[in-house]
Amino acid sequence: MKNGRGGGYTTRAAPAPTTEIKSMFFISQAMDMAMIKTTPPPPNNNKEAAADMSSSSSPKLAPTTNSRHSMEGRRRHPLPPSPAPTSSSSSSSKSSSSANKLSERIFKCLLCIFIRLLRSSRVADLDTTRNLQQAGSFSFRIDTTLHVAATAAAKEYKDRGQQDHYGIFAIPDAIVRDVRPYKNLVRFTSTSLDLRGFSTSPLLTKLRQMLEALQRVDLRSLSHQQKLAFWLNVYNTCIMHGILQHGLPSNSEKLLALKNKATINVLGQTFNALVIENFILRQPSSVKEEFWRCDVDVEEQQVRELYGLKTSEPNILFALCCGIRSSPALRTYKADRVSMDLEKAKLEYLQASLVVTSTRRLLIPGLIHSNMHDFAKDMESLLRWICEQLPTSWSLRKSMVDCLRHLNMETEMEDVIVIPLDYDFQYLLPM
């Protein structure tokens, strides 16, 4: 069934899971208890600062009536003044590199935690078999679980379905193609959790120690590329840590609530995911309407001035992973190659999520369509922008060119379909 402008398919209601996935409360408890037992208090003579250090590594943000943006204590505790520039260029460079390395290490630690939580038992095989049985019917929720213990049937579907994480090849008449690096990713869903014995994992202690170190990083001399890589890693870390503390998102309301509750302390200041995304990583002109419509107060202006990027980076859309099925894959961002990696992230997501059919229909991911203002002014210019991004040697580019050549933008827009955002929990993890 088509809906909306240009007609998007309405997805069928997902079947109720056979096992109810409970809150991540036990992981959160384990994280807190493990750190209380093993982590000494931070060396700080200031009692107030020490109290903040001991509590902010597992920050809690009370629900607010303004869900568009929030920071803990933002009106009562304005941001600290901008730090004075350092006197030594060599120490400046070293501290900047240290901040980036720490953000990478924290992110990789969380990746390890999620990979350790992957269920390696027979349940994964049963889930794979069930999904394969359902793969014949049309749905955007085809599950081709990429587990190392996949059955022979899973391998057969892998070869035929090209690791179809977004279910695009289940669409009638879809042209099958190689989805490139996405076929090597591990899919982590709510059925992947295995909490047995994890409360004693040393990874939890390591994570807490690094999160405490994040409160003391020096961000004074970060270049644009360093700042971009740092905050991308911190944003994805913030969401992953928030999921471990507050549970899995399953719809748009819960995702927004998660972004408000997921917080992280950087340089003694607590940020939530909404603030990082919309006031540090995005420019005011690129923030979605529900965010930039609000009155920006002094504290938010200070966030932009002290921490925000000075120029727009549209490709960050393909790096922000918020734990839903429509999100791009997770990856670590390094300062010396962040622009190249963002370009790769964009191309790989387009290759794995766009649909061109043999009947010359185009299906555009809802993630790109809902952020269209980053790239284009209307659907026609968006389609042309997408086509221009793809390498000329790719079969997807050739299929799109052929489709656009025969498409009358004024009378045949029903052949351009928007795939709705899928809010089921999913992470695509590199091994």
Instruction: Calculate the alpha carbon distances from 378 to 135, 346, 351, 383, 401 in Å.
Output: 34, 20, 21, 9, 18
Contact 233, 252 (CB under 8 A): no
According to the model, what pLDDT value does residue 197 have? 57
According to the model, what pLDDT value does residue 357 have? 94
Tokens representing residue 256 in the block = 């927004």
pLDDT in tens, 414-423: 789 999 999 9
Which residues is 250 bridged to in the sheet?
none
Give the phi and the psi of residue 53 in degrees, each rounded to 5. -65, -40
According to the model, what pLDDT value does residue 93 have? 54
According to the model, what pLDDT value does residue 220 have? 84
According to the model, what pLDDT value does residue 3 have? 43
Which pTM does this prediction carry? 0.73
Which residues is 418 bridged to in the sheet?
364
According to the model, what pLDDT value does residue 160 have? 45
Distance CA 158, CA 145 (A): 9
Tokens representing residue 26 in the block = 């036990």
According to the model, what pLDDT value does residue 395 have? 94
Helix (H) or strand (E) run with residue 145 in it: none
According to the model, what pLDDT value does residue 190 have? 84
According to the model, what pLDDT value does residue 405 have? 86
Distance CA 92, CA 114 (A): 34
According to the model, what pLDDT value does residue 6 have? 40
Per DSSP, 218 falls in state -
pLDDT in tens, 389-423: 999 999 999 999 998 888 776 556 778 999 999 99
Tokens representing residue 319 in the block = 């790096």
**pLDDT tens, position by position, for the chain (431 residues)?**
444 434 444 333 444 443 333 444 545 554 554 444 444 444 444 433 333 333 333 333 333 334 344 444 343 344 544 444 444 455 555 556 799 999 999 999 999 988 888 764 334 444 544 554 444 333 333 233 323 323 332 343 344 445 789 999 999 999 999 898 998 898 998 887 766 656 667 888 899 999 999 999 989 889 999 999 999 999 999 999 999 888 888 899 999 999 999 999 999 899 999 999 999 999 886 555 454 444 444 478 888 989 999 998 989 999 999 999 999 999 999 999 999 999 999 999 999 999 999 999 999 999 999 999 999 999 989 999 999 999 999 999 999 999 888 877 655 677 899 999 999 999 999 87
In 151-292, at which residue ranges do the beta strands (DSSP E only) sit? 186-188, 263-266, 269-272
Neighbours of 427 (CB within 10 A): 25
Contact 347, 320 (CB under 8 A): no
